[in-house]
Amino acid sequence: MKRHDVLKIFIGWDSREEVAYEVCITSLRRHSTRSLEITPLKQEELRRRGLYSRSKDPLASTEFTYTRFLTPFLSGYRGWVLFVDCDFLFTADIAGLFAMVDERYAVMCVQHDHRPPERTKMDGVVQTVYPRKNWSSLVLWNCAHFANRILTPDVVNGKTGAFLHRFQWLKDSEIGVLPETWNWLEGWSKVVAGEVPKAIHFTRGGPWFKNWRDVTFADLWYAERDQLAQQSSPAYR
């Protein structure tokens, strides 16, 4: 990617986690040395546009469980684009992540072997365990890659969760690896003394949920929220 290119980012948006979304984009912008084009993936809006029509899935923990796979289509099947869940806090320049893009791959992600022991997460939703869990929570998409052209709205609306979240339309050789620091799973990833991950993922539940107010690195999330509060509405205080 050229140094002057605007970095394009889609973020999953959920009506229960609006403050998480706002803190996420604040942390992205505060650390970035590049111009960012950030777009929330709002399910209601995508339904109005006729791009999303899936019925409610009882195992879907967020409103963007499946809408994330519209990223290549919404990008016109052009360029490298980042998708990220809203429950992330960034502590480093996102340009460092985009610097890792490799044209050999259709997608790039942190390839966790995530097997959470909790039965519930967030605000009481069921915690599910499945192969490649959380691979799709932060993805660098090579939208122009021929393999990703299969991801039309019809496919995203019709294929199973396993097909989508496990990247089953791709060969394993088309999935690139990113360092774990760019999708550090709170409660699962190893804490290294003196080190702060570049992208903290509050996947079990973040400090905006009552039962998760004291999770690891919650202090950093509160600090980012407080900076947002200084320039925003009292709702974020």
pLDDT tens digits for range 194-220: 899 999 999 999 999 988 999 999 999
pLDDT tens, residue by residue, 72-115: 999 999 999 999 999 999 999 999 999 999 999 999 999 998 67
Whose CA is closest to 60, among 126, 115, 118, 124? Answer: 126
- Sole residue written with tokens 């947002």: 228
Is a pLDDT exceeding 70 seen at residue 120?
Answer: no
Q: Tell me, yes or no, whether 230 lies in a domain.
A: yes
E-assigned strand segments in the chain: 7-12, 36-41, 80-84, 88-90, 107-109, 120-121, 125-126, 138-142, 175-177, 184-185, 199-201
pLDDT category of residue 237 using cuts at 50, 70 and 90: very low
Residue 1 located in a structural domain: no
In a domain, 93, yes or no: yes
Residues 6+ apart with CB under 8 A from 78: 143, 144
Structural domain contains residue 2: no
- Lowest-confidence segment of 138-142, 222-226, 232-236 by average pLDDT: 232-236
> Is the pLDDT confidence value at 185 over 80?
yes
Domain membership flag for residue 63: yes
Number of domains the chain contains: 1
Which residue type sits at 33? T
Separation between Cα atoms, residue 24 and residue 3, nearest integer Å = 23
- Long-range CB pairs of 59-63 (<8 Å, 24+ gap) are 59/126, 59/128, 59/161, 60/161, 61/121, 61/122, 61/125, 61/126, 61/128, 62/12, 62/14, 62/17, 62/86, 63/12, 63/13, 63/14, 63/15
CATH code (residue 193): 3.90.550.10
User: What residues make up the domain containing 105?
Assistant: 7-236
User: Residue 144 falls within a domain, yes or no?
Assistant: yes
Q: Is 84 helix (H, G, I), strand (E, B) or coil?
A: strand
